[in-house]
A and B are shown apart, each in its own frame.
Chain A
């Protein structure tokens, strides 16, 4: 016997108590056995923090077999106490969206399209570009002879959407390269 969820809800709507179905539903026997179990039943839970604004609401991510099946507000979190705004409620789609990038895209000078590239090639090539640009415009001394060790040909921007440890590594790497044009969202 099969029953759609819609039909079942209709039946429920017609008056659960009046039809004497309460016991059936509670014991999950009879028709009630056909209610699909909650999607998150037996899922693994992982806590996180919402990636949108600076309130820092808690999230609970539900996964099964390494796949994300739901994201909800963390009821234990002192700030949001389980609630989320319209952006927070959409966090799951950030992970599941087909628009997410999965491969390195590369656009050659003058080209009108992207090409997919191997990650290893892209990292090595980028490192070469960084080095060539830095070295060609590296200033070791000021006119008065002070060691300044900077490059004004490289810039690094962004970071407010990243984790602290990521920001720290970017700051450390940028300064070791002599980057002075180092800026991000806090300036806007």
Chain B
């Protein structure tokens, strides 16, 4: 979230799209309700009439996977009706930048498409530069080659009629939505967009989120209290695990993992990865400090601070990197032999589960650390499998629960909150900290005793001194960072250096533990005071970065530093005092660190987005940073019962199509699978179910797999509420009880397709085959929904397309 949970109450209009907080983030709805009580409007756009929708002023039922078309329509409406926040757009976004003269867009394809590679060469996706190498601009926004005019032309195609044809949203509803949300473009008004996996789990996921972002920039909603782009996020600490880079492409603090083609030596890495302008120009300080945290004294100037101890990635499996889908494809191909699983249940949560199971069967060994027997840890005895034929050696380690250990977790609003240990774990159960530490210690011993082992140096020299029973405070202090010579905690990342004199495990968390004692642990703060009245709670826990509660907060004020809305002042330039008056930690250079003199607002107004080299937010994304285009464009899901009404390009031209025996896809408008399926979660269960299908209360409240079916589909198929039905895709099938409900409805679009009216069913994905309950009565059945879902990923993130695929439904 650019903002945070309490801040939702400051909004004038909330758009819930691609998430369902009333059911999946229930307590957050307290703050949405608070906003409504103060007069805010609530719009809920969702293919299903959810409990969030039941609280909305306007419910917008859109066909799943058509978010870009809906956003495109809103962007067009805002531009055509001059509802955008002009001063904001001119000063704080790249609207005025001129674009390379060879950049084009034609019938669904941007310039540079290479058919044979299913990829773009983004050379033309860039700014025009003046003779000094700076981007050329036109602050009047009238030059036809400026971002603003190109954007306007791009979205002029998304007329209300086109939106209605594509999304299935009725005209009247769309016009109401456009007027309601467009009103947040008035200076001083703020609109918030809330999303989650309903936005990301598409082959166009990044462009869907970009669509939200373009709209928010145009309406001047970024950086405002009650505004922003707010990813609600799933797991309790998925924000933290992402910050800590448990992802193939990054190291802690959102820096790229080195790759063999571009970064042979540290010098290459720092040169190519460090922009000349913006705050990321400090990257060498963060990166070298990370190497010092990892390898301590063994990271020396003479050996490039042990740069070669970090692995460098290559092209990955079939040239597609090392993310989730290629990981399981590589496992299926026999490349991956051993896997560690830390509190995760891919035997339920992975897409195209029959591929997942076949891949797990290929492992030589699997080690899981969990609270329970998960579906994943017993994959070898899943329904239909013969354990005697399965050669995988499986270790299942008993883990400690969150109340049985100490440490911090980052919520979606970036608050790092401290948990204390309430009770000791039972039996041999240990925290994951203990396991990781102990595994590290055992490996160090093994490699110290085997100097001929493959490159033992990174392990032998690993800076790993947390004690036999790892002290979580030592780890937290390393994450914060310290000066190497005297081991003193640094105050925050502004103290980090690129000469090896500082160490820091994650620069964005630097400042969370700035002193030696437990009282310096700012994550444990519990001061409830809120002098701003904006719900910032500056002394409750600690927010990254540097305890800033609302990111991009320079944009909450005009170029002269005056808040757009005096009741929502995060930062304010006091002309008389020649000083900034701040309620939040400013997200811009506001004070000279040496002289302590305050910096006048005109300086920060030129570059309010400090992490970007151009200093302005991006309506147009340059340089191929989004692999499928600089502007969001609507494409249909890979499996779709309609032809794309917007262009000749049916689906995202830049996604990889997998071709293993398991990776089958239904054809466009496939008569065998004429029904759209989407997936969702219920309040009572948690993700892949291991945490709740083992709890008696939750199991009793929500005991069975079900499928939501419209009354019209039920009638057509002769299905009654409560019947067991078989839902099948080209990849697999699952049994579910029919829940005949008007929460789902057929879509009647103008688009050409299998039929003009297409039914949609919706399935929860929590169930499986292990645990106290599995989701059904038959122990020989697997009730996991994701047996149906396809293994195709977004062009940028490779997040699988769980939210739209094609199925058939029959009485079981």
Contact = CB atoms under 8 A, between A and B. Distances in A.
B403 A106 contact: no
B437 to A, nearest CB: 6
A171 interface: yes
Contact of A157 (B346, B391, B402, B454): B346
Given A79-B5, A102-B398, A110-B390, A48 B422 contact: yes
Q: Which of A51, A133, A155 has the most CB of B within 10 A?
A: A155
A48 B338 contact: no
A56 B422 contact: no
Given A127-B446, A153-B336, A180 B242 contact: no
B237 A55 contact: no
A128 B244 contact: no
A31 to B, nearest CB: 33
A183 B322 contact: yes
Interface stretch (B60-68, B270-278, B409-417): B409-417
Contacts of A99: 372-373, 694, 771-772
Contacts of A49: 236, 402, 409, 411, 417-419
B183 interface: no
Interface string A79-101: 11101111111110111010111
B235 A86 contact: no
B371 A87 contact: no
B336 A56 contact: no
Contacts of B350: 188
B454 A169 contact: no
A146 B454 contact: no
Q: Which of A122, A126, A127, A162 has the most CB of B within 10 A?
A: A162
Interface string B222-266: 000000000011111111111111111001100001001000100
Q: Which of A50, A76, A183 has the most CB of B within 10 A?
A: A183
A169 B798 contact: no
Contacts of B27: 55, 57, 79-80, 83-85, 88
Contacts of B337: 133, 136-137, 153-154
Nearest to A62: B422
Nearest to A44: B422
B431 interface: yes
A40 interface: no
Contacts of B454: 134-135, 138, 140
Interface in B662-721: 683-687, 691-692, 694-698, 701
Interface string B341-369: 11110100111000000000000110101
Nearest to B308: A147
B744 interface: no
A160 B691 CA distance: 13
Contact of A163 (B252, B427, B433): B433
Interface stretch (A4-12, A13-21, A22-30, A64-72): A64-72
Interface residues on B, range: 35 or more
A108 to B, nearest CB: 6
Contacts of B365: 129, 133
A127 B244 CA distance: 23
Interface stretch (B135-143, B159-167, B468-476, B730-738): B468-476
B599 interface: no
A48 B311 contact: no
A162 B402 CA distance: 8
B453 A135 contact: yes
A103 B293 CA distance: 33
A36 interface: no
A164 B260 contact: no
Contacts of A57: 27
Nearest to A114: B396
Contacts of A78: 6, 528, 530, 535, 537, 540
B175 interface: no
A33 interface: no
B232 A185 contact: no
B94 to A, nearest CB: 28
A167 interface: yes
A37 interface: no
B446 A131 contact: yes
A74 to B, nearest CB: 9
A176 interface: yes
Contacts of A171: 244-246, 251-252
A184 B535 CA distance: 32
Contact of A187 (B324, B369, B428, B435): B324
Contact of B505 (A134, A147, A172): A172
Contacts of A79: 5-6, 27-28, 30-31, 411
B235 A148 contact: no
Contacts of A101: 370-373, 396-399, 427, 429
13 contacts: A48-B403, A97-B694, A97-B695, A97-B696, A117-B395, A160-B344, A162-B343, A164-B407, A164-B408, A164-B409, A181-B327, A183-B322, A184-B344
Interface of A: 46-59, 61, 63, 66-68, 71, 76, 78-81, 83-91, 93-95, 97, 99-112, 114, 117, 119, 122-131, 133-138, 140, 142, 144, 146-188
